[in-house]
Every structure is written in C-alpha cells, then in structure tokens.
Amino acid sequence: MSMDGLSEFPSLEMRAEKSRKIEELWMGYIEDLRLFRTFDIRYDIYANKLQECWEIRQDLSKINIETCSIEEFLENWSKIHNVEYDFLKRMKDFIGLNEKIRLYLNKGRTVDQIMDFVGFRIILKTNLPEEENIALCYELMNDLIMFMVLDKKYIPMRAEPLSDLGVYPKEIIVPKQTMLYEAFITWVKDYVRYPKGNGYQSLHLVVKNPFTNQLFEIQIRTKNMDSWAEFGLAQHQNHKRRRYLGYQISLDPAKLKIEGFEYENGEIKEDTIGLMKSKYL
C-alpha cells in the first residue's frame, strides 16, 4: 500500500459484498479505515467524516428543521412574485460521498470543505424569457440570504471564488454581471455569472444552523438550467466521471445483498437506501 499520496484504501467493495444492512456497510468501513490510522492520520480523518455524515443521516429531525424553514420562506416568496417552483431535498449517496472524500484527501484539501452532504434545490418554473428567470434567481437568492442569515441567524459559509472561463456552450445565457447584493457575493458560488465549461449554471449557498451545527447547501436554478444539468452537456454523471477519474468506486450490484437495495435484470430498480446515487426525497 502506498501511503505517500493516500492512493489506496481499504476495500470498500469487499466490505459492501459482506454487508447485509446499510449500517453494517457504514460502520464496518469506518472500522476498516480506523485500523489504518497508525499508518496515516488521514485515514482517521476519512473515518471521522463518514461518522459525521452517518450521524446526520440517522437524525432526520435536523434536516426537517431546515426543510420547514425554507418551505415557510418559499411559500410566502412565491405568492408575492407569482412564481411556481419545485423544492427538492437530498442526502449525498454513500458511494459519491466516499469518492469525494478520497479526491479531497489526495488533493490535499480538508474534508471540512465537504459541506453538501445535505442539499436543497429550488427550481423556478416560469414561462418568462430566460433573462427574466435569471434575474428572479438572483432576487430569490438575495431574499433567501436575508431570511436565513439576517432573520434566522444562520451562519453563511465563505464560497470559493470563481473566475470567468470565457468558454462555455453558446446555448446558455450568461449575465454580464452578478445581481447578488455586494455584501452577499463572498457567500455564493455564482455559476450563473461564471458557468462551468460544460455550461452548468446554478447559484449555490452553504449555511450552518447555529443551534444544531447542521451544514447544508441550497441551489437555485431556472428550468432551463436544471434541464441542462440533468440531461444536457452538464449532466451530473458526466461531471462525476471526469472529476473523479481515478477515484471511482466500482461495485458489482449483482453481488450486493444489502437490505433495501434492489437489482433486477442487470438494472438498479430503486436504490431506496441511497447507496449508489444521489436521491432527492
């Protein structure tokens, strides 16, 4: 095993094939990682992050607190602006979480920067021109920050600064400047003004509940942005394949006997336990 780059890990695949319940997989793999802590402290850091996320998963009441706060705000905001919306929530899937932790550790990044285990997505559903939809996204983000941070006293987390790549698909619309309030710019990843090279656009905000210490991410996008992210060049699976090249975890679903995981005729029927894909609830 090479420890210099933390390029090899205890076999998650073998642990998955031996597990019969999702908690056996989580707890068993955390134990496997802790056995390597004497070789490299980063294995213990890895295990601690999994433990943290498992505890969040086990206490859904904390997520429900955030859900109620955001839904309360959205219901009022949508009536004032006469806008329909979809509101989705999810916890990051187990395999995706492990791939992200491995990537961060090998790149020398702290796993404390992984703050999207719990996520909420707001999709504005209007028939307005996209330029007007974009303006509404910014308005919603500004108002949501005022509600969450100023009224509810949630703590906004500083976002990584983005730069203008200048290269993205011509089909997307990019505003000439951000419409975020100046005081809020450092808290929002503005992929609308600074799209990814594949055309991905969205506004991302991470905040922390000061009473529960629960971190969660909120994404805001238009219908067109969501379609581009789900079905276009920016679809998530393509992004994951590129980003996690060399860090992918390959499970053989036919060998998995985990309760709640269904695999039939070569296809996943429905991964109700969130093992292999992000699931919005």
- Domain ranges for the chain: 59-280
Nearest to 202 by CA among 187, 186, 224, 233: 224
Q: How many Å apart are CA 143 and CA 122, to the nearest integer?
A: 13
In which band, very low, low, confident or very high, does the pLDDT at 4 lie, cut at 50, 70 and 90? very low
pLDDT score at 9: 87
Band (pLDDT 50/70/90 cuts) for residue 236 is low
Per-residue pLDDT band for 250 (boundaries 50, 70, 90) equals confident
The per-residue pLDDT for 212 is 85
SS3 label, residue 65: helix
Segments of 64-104 assigned E as strands: 84-91
Question: What is the average pLDDT value for the chain, to the nearest integer?
Answer: 88
What pLDDT score does 232 carry? 73
pLDDT, tens digit, 9 for 90 and up, residues 202-225: 999 999 999 888 899 999 999 999
Among candidate residues 63, 3, 24, the one with its CA nearest the CA of residue 257: 24
Q: Is the pLDDT of residue 2 over 70?
A: no
User: What are the φ and ψ backbone dihedral angles of 217, each rounded to 5 degrees?
Assistant: -105, 140
Using a pLDDT cut of 70, give the percent of the chain over it. 91
pLDDT at 69: 87
Contact 192, 174 (CB under 8 A): yes
* pTM over cut 0.85: yes
CATH class of residue range 59-280: alpha beta
Band the pLDDT of 281: cuts 50, 70, 90.
Answer: very low
Q: What is the DSSP string of 207-271?
A: EE-TTT--EEEEEEEEHHHHHHHHHSTT-HHHHHHHHTTTT-----GGG---TTEEEETTEEEEE
Does the pLDDT at position 142 exceed 80? yes
Q: Is the pLDDT of residue 78 over 50?
A: yes
Lowest-pLDDT choice from 80-89, 137-146, 238-247:
238-247
> Is the pLDDT assigned to residue 130 strictly greater than 90?
yes
What pLDDT is stored for residue 235 in this prediction? 53
Amino acid at 73: F
Report pLDDT digits (tens) over 22-74: 999 999 999 999 988 777 888 999 999 999 999 999 888 778 888 888 999 99
